[in-house]
Amino acid sequence: MKIFISATLRSFFNREHEIDVKGKTVGELLENIIKEYPDSKNAFYDETGERRGFIKLFVDGEDRTGRDYAVYSLSEKSKVLLLPVIAGGAPSLAQTEALVSDERRKEVELDNTEIERFNKHLLLREIGVKGQKRIKAAKVVVVGAGALGSAVIQYLAAAGVGTIKVIDSSAVALEDLQSQVLHSLRDVKRPKSASARDSIRNINRSIEVIAENEDISADNASELIEDFDLVVDCSDNFKTRYTLNDACILNGIPVVFGAIYQFEGQVSILGHNGGPCLRCVYPSPPPAGLVPSCAEGGTISPLAGIVGSIQANEALKLIMGIGEHLSGKLLTVDTLYLNSSVLNVKRSCNCPLCGDTPTITEVETYDYEDFCGLKAKEDEVPVEGFTPEELAKKIDAGEPLKIIDVREPHERAILRFPGAVVIPIGQLVRRQKELDPNIDTVFLCKQGKRSILAINTLREAGYTGPMYNLKGGLDAMKDIVLANEGGWL
């Protein structure tokens, strides 16, 4: 049968987006996948042999990664999708309760200018005057004013959402302008939250805009979302996503989740009317470095607009209580191969946050590395590394070194390291004989995270040669001058 592979996992499958593998059960299917693609074992299972929680296996749109997943029977016509979190059980209802109550809706009025401005909404039977007044009365938090946030913020503002809070601690960079259409060249180096505030005011000056230039944390998450109707998660890192998820669930505020990677996107509604939360869908994020981040893997410009527009659409439907929505469902979109699916996801009775016997009762400050199972054990040898300056001196001095580049091919097309041997992280174990245990081996990637995982992977496989990480990765080495190259790296 055909198995469809999400982009974040394709490095373990020779870059294929679909493969043909036989199997009568899910367990047999996974065994055969690993036999045919040995590198995929590290993606599916951790060093103890436990199946990783960040990968979901859907069969014909249903999540089959529960406790009895291995014995679930398959047919030749089964459609199988391997889907990791890139960072939903109540059924979808045709009519749902609006997030904005009738009392609040009746407290607002539409003036003549607004009637003209929102004429196309007023003509829609599902929206009309009542729906538009709910939109005006709504209070929405958008976390992240980057690529996804650009589309979400602009469409919520254009639709007339009365109060929009934008939370983002970063500044606009030149490379952001490819997909973050909320900002312009004049905004480079400005806080994204401030740039977003100005853009909203340019769209509709009657909107109340609150710009928060800070990170989401356990200390401030509940306070930042307090008294708001809805949160739209447009963040770009797992720590923020899980902290925000916890705060929203504990405060009874639904989340419109969105994520993108390369050509793929995901959208869901979390924590709404007894539906699942992020911890139900993905109990844990992937270990840092196992799959490239959006910053490392890139995204095509329109993808954020597509996914962000769907998020904004879901947010408006929830505000008004109209149509079907993605609570209990996960929408996946692959714009490269024109595939899309709506997958059913359920609340987990064992979820520590929203399950039958929750153990998380407040937003907690947690160690991200410990949460992901990355914390070094007491008997584990720490990963040593070189700074860019130290590595440059060793290269210039002609010291014997072997440099291994574990990045993906498209990343190396942008920036190559002189003399580096290319071994993708999924191939390291079976290609370890190419390393010389008598000399220092330096591993590098874009940001210095995947290279740490590479070193630990080889240690687990029994390699004993000296291994070092390039601290900060190639991002930290961009301005280093190598004498033997006659210029900058």
The tokens of 246 are what? 């916890």
Residue-level pLDDT at 481: 58
Residue-level pLDDT at 93: 33
Roughly what angle, to the nearest 10 degrees, separates helices 301-320 and 128-137?
Answer: 110
Q: Whole-angstrom Cα distance, residue 184 to residue 151?
A: 14
Q: Where are the beta strands (DSSP E) in 361-447?
A: 385-386, 401-405, 421-422, 440-444
308 touches 234 (CB < 8 A):
yes
Question: Backbone phi, then psi, for 289, in 5-degree steps?
Answer: 100, -20
Residue-level pLDDT at 373: 45
49 touches 251 (CB < 8 A):
no
The widest CA-to-CA distance across the chain, in whole angstroms, is 80
Set out the domains of the chain in order of their start, with CATH numbers.
2-84 (3.10.20.30), 138-371 (3.40.50.720), 385-488 (3.40.250.10)
Q: Whole-angstrom Cα distance, residue 8 to residue 476?
A: 24
Catalytic residue ranges? 294, 445
3-state SS, 332-362, equals EEECCCCEEEEEECCCCCCCCCCCCCCCCCC
Residue-level pLDDT at 42: 75
* Mean pLDDT split into 10-residue runs, the chain, 489 residues: 76 79 84 85 75 76 73 80 54 61 94 95 94 97 95 97 96 90 94 96 96 93 95 90 93 95 92 92 68 61 95 97 92 92 89 91 71 47 87 90 86 79 86 93 88 88 92 82 49
Residue-level pLDDT at 94: 38
Residue-level pLDDT at 154: 97
Q: Whole-angstrom Cα distance, residue 292 to residue 71?
A: 31
Q: Whole-angstrom Cα distance, residue 144 to residue 316?
A: 18
In one letter, which amino acid is 460? Answer: E
429 touches 458 (CB < 8 A):
yes
